[in-house]
Amino acid sequence: MNYSVIVNKGGNKDKVLKAADNKNLLELLGEHNYSLDTYCGGMGKCGKCKVQVVKGADNITSQEKKLLTGKEIKEGIRLACLLKITGDMEINLQLKDEIVALTSGLKQKGEFNPEYRKKNITFEEPDLEDQRSFLTRLYDLISVSDINIDLLKKLDNVNKKKPLNIIYDDTKIIDIQKENNHDLYGLAIDIGTTTVVLYLLNLNTGKTEDSYSLPNPQQKFGADVISRINYTIDNPRGIEKMQSVIINSLNNAIDKLIKGNDLNHEDIYMSTIVGNTIMLHFFMGINAESIANSPFTPLFTELLEFKAKELGLKINKNGLIQILPSISGYIGADIVADMLAVNLNNMNDEINLLVDIGTNGEMVLSTGENIYTCSTAAGPAFEGANIAHGVAGIPGAISSFEIKEDGKIHLETIKDKRPEGICGSGLLDIVAEFYDKNIIKAGGGFIKNENLPEIHRQKMTTYNDLKAYCIVDAEHTVSGEEIVITQKDIREVQLAKGAIQAGIKILKNKIGIENKDIDNIYLAGGFGNYLNPRSACILGMLPRQLENKITQIGNGAGTGARICLKDKKAKLYIENLIDRVEYIELSERKDFQAEFMSSMKFGR
């Protein structure tokens, strides 16, 4: 028996899906590329995959009753992962996939000299004096010496009296086009754990003509890399599924870029891919299990290059997929691209600190000569996970927070929408302001109610039996419930802050420098770019004395990937970078444990 499921989005009917009896709703939505928040991987634990059922729900489960508020239940909110389809349905999706992703970046360095070029050629008429084969003539015209079997057959079949477009690199012919006046295009793709960003570059001009971002659809298998790896271990063909959802979503995104820019898929001849090591394994359909367990050995970290048709990415089938190299299981190609974006390949006497904060925190400390790097679990707190009212960077997320002189709260939300929750930068601001305004202690605990000024004391409340502070009262929120920060939320920030600060300390110790020796701090990553550096400095996550040396570089990974698309020499720069990098594994270092413990305190 097949049922119809009407899916509304933003108040409009978006699609009608067909579903078999007893089909899981989250699975159905996933198969049609609707991406819901599922930090627990669809296990019915995180309570994030909310949908509003307008018509046709089965009976609510006891687990949903635990995870949803009475008001939500009354409004027909259900958890998609726990809902089985037993009849025709109509649902409203919340616009969670409108995540505001970082598509801007540093002004790109590097020359414009792409690996693939396009040339319009016409064969001279052969004569007895010049019996060179057509292939020899082609090689001579564009100075290459290699062709594949399919293109040789293509050359056999084209009219050699008419002009041809030849796509080629330094050594070989990439494609032969009969008629096509479009420019050559490339895609730089940054596959983040949470967000994926695509940049469309014109490789005739070097200009970035468009970009597109989408949530990583693998989130339905788990919010963080470890739960995704577990999914691939626990589920038959799990790795194939993990690969196909990302490839499918990328192909949908490519469709949209193509359509919006009046291009054909065949016009895109290159794609440079960055991401963390695990995302790259998944993208390739390669198991990442060995990265999850000590000693965290990846299958590959090298630069990989393939034909697009080998991976099923919808660009020209002869196009190149270039996967940038990683350094270790937890320092991926995204960080390598960051390094390229901030020019660490240009050796000089400066000491540069690069911090990429997303789901993980990766730190890079570079002297002129050597580069040291390490990775810590920053925790998904800043992505909204494990935080009572945490949300991703969606419209309505509290992204900035300040307590004025008079004790009144001033906050900003993304797109000025009615508050819906707290995203990472808001969370950091809140905790920094709490610490700065003596609402919490250096140890993280709330100041006793009786010692708080009246204006704050009246905000103190409880949430699920936890001490909490009310950030927005119920009547001003989307849900009609208070948005609070709990004592546990503050502990989560503490853990993340401690890990990052301790990682930086280990790197400084390795080189034997102090904070004052650092010339520049670059912040990258989904969270690193949105946080308020002042807040990070107040809490001690970054050195307070260096606040004015901090630059937020936007999507450094995307910038690095674009540099690689535009300049074939970038591969050499990266090789040079990687040769100089030493990776420091923190997980079993006693000095890291000690630094971590002492870095948990705020303000130092």
In whole angstroms, how close is the CB of 288 to its own copies at the nearest point? 10
- Shortest Cβ 303–its own copies spacing (Å): 8
Please state the φ and ψ torsions of residue 189, each to the nearest 5 degrees: -125, 125
What's at 386, amino acid-wise?
N
Task: Identify which of residues 43 and 304 has a Cβ nearer to its own copies in the complex.
Answer: 304
Q: CB-wise, 297 or 438, nearer to its own copies? A: 297
* CA contacts within 13 A on the Cβ side of 466: 17
| Rounded alpha-carbon distances, angstroms, from residue 245 to 35, 193, 224, 447 | 10, 13, 16, 47
Specify the residue, 170 or 305, whose C-beta has the smaller distance to its own copies.
305
Bridge partner residues of 440 (DSSP): 446
Residue 122's alpha-carbon distances to 165, 180, 278, in angstroms, are 9, 14, 46
Residues 6 or more apart whose CB falls under 8 angstroms from that of 55 comprise: 6, 88, 89, 90
Q: Residue 392 is encoded by which pair of tokens?
A: 């991703």
Nearer to its own copies, 104 or 297 (CB): 297
Q: Kindly give the pairing relationship between strand 117-121 and strand 50-55.
A: unpaired
Smallest distance from its own copies to CB 271, Å: 14
Which stretches of 167-237 are DSSP H helices? 225-234
Name which of 526, 533, 552 is nearest 101 in CA terms.
Answer: 526
CB of 277 to its own copies, least distance (A): 8
Closest approach, Cβ 151 to its own copies, in A, equals 11
CB of 225 to its own copies, least distance (A): 16
Q: How is the beta sheet containing 361-366 ordered, strand by strand?
A: 550-552, 520-524, 352-357, 361-366, 371-376, 581-583
Q: Which of 239, 236, 237 is nearest to 228 (CA)?
A: 239
Q: Using an 8 Å Cβ cutoff, are 30 and 245 in contact?
A: yes
376 vs 552, beta carbon nearer its own copies: 376
Output the smallest distance, CB 161 to its own copies, in A: 12
The minimum distance between CB 194 and its own copies, in angstroms, equals 24
Residues in the chain: 604
- The first and second tokens of residue 250, run together, are 């990328």
Tokens read off for 364: 């890079």
Residue 448: exposure state from Cβ atoms within 10 A (0-12, 13-18, ≥19): exposed
Look at residue 398 and give its three-state secondary structure: strand
Q: Which is nearer to its own copies, 320 or 341 (CB)?
A: 320
Residue 224, C-beta contacts closer than 8 angstroms, at least 6 positions apart: 39, 193, 359, 380, 385
* Closer residue to its own copies, CB minimum distance, 100 or 134: 134
Nearest-approach distance from CB 490 to its own copies, in angstroms = 32
SS3 track for 43-110: CCCCCCCEEEEEECCCCCCHHHHHHCCHHHHHCCEEEHHHCEECCCEEEEECCCCCCCCCCCECCCCC
The answer to whether residues 561 and 272 touch, using CB atoms and an 8 Å cutoff, is yes
Least distance to its own copies, CB of residue 139, Å: 7
The least CB distance from residue 330 to its own copies, in Å, is 9
Q: Exposed, middle or buried, 60 (CB in 10 Å: 0-12/13-18/19+)?
A: middle
**Beta carbon nearer to its own copies, 59 or 131:** 131
Binding site residues, its own copies, CB under 8 A? 126-136, 139, 145-149, 152-153, 155-156, 284-287, 290, 294-302, 304-306, 310-311, 326, 328-329, 583, 585, 587-588
Evaluate whether 336 touches 330 at the Cβ level (below 8 Å).
no
Question: Between residues 144 and 466, which has the closer beta carbon with respect to its own copies?
Answer: 144
Q: Which is nearer to its own copies, 126 or 445 (CB)?
A: 126
Choose between 21 and 289: whose C-beta lies nearer to its own copies: 289
By beta-carbon proximity to its own copies, the closer residue of 63 and 587 is: 587
Q: How far is the CB of 372 from its own copies (least distance, A)?
A: 14
